[in-house]
Amino acid sequence: MTSPHHDELFLAIGRLEGKVDSLLAMQGHQQEELKEHDNRIRVLEHAKGQIMGYAAAIGAGMSMIVNYLAKHI
């Protein structure tokens, strides 16, 4: 037979285990969200890089056209 002191101790340990399990589950959820955000940011940065490349190419092309027209008009 266990004493009331042991029962309280076992109950406290059970509560702590429950809280630790809850914290671990929350940490796992946060890690999944972080992975999703990393993927979204990577896609956005890639798209931004492509747009900046196209803009640079268009700007260089327009500059060459303006220089050509300025010399020949």
List, for residues 1-60, the tens digit of each pLDDT value: 568 888 999 999 999 999 999 999 999 999 999 999 999 999 999 999 999 999 999 999
**CA atoms of 58 and 60, how far apart (whole Å):** 5
**CA atoms of 7 and 28, how far apart (whole Å):** 32
Q: What is the pLDDT of residue 19?
A: 97
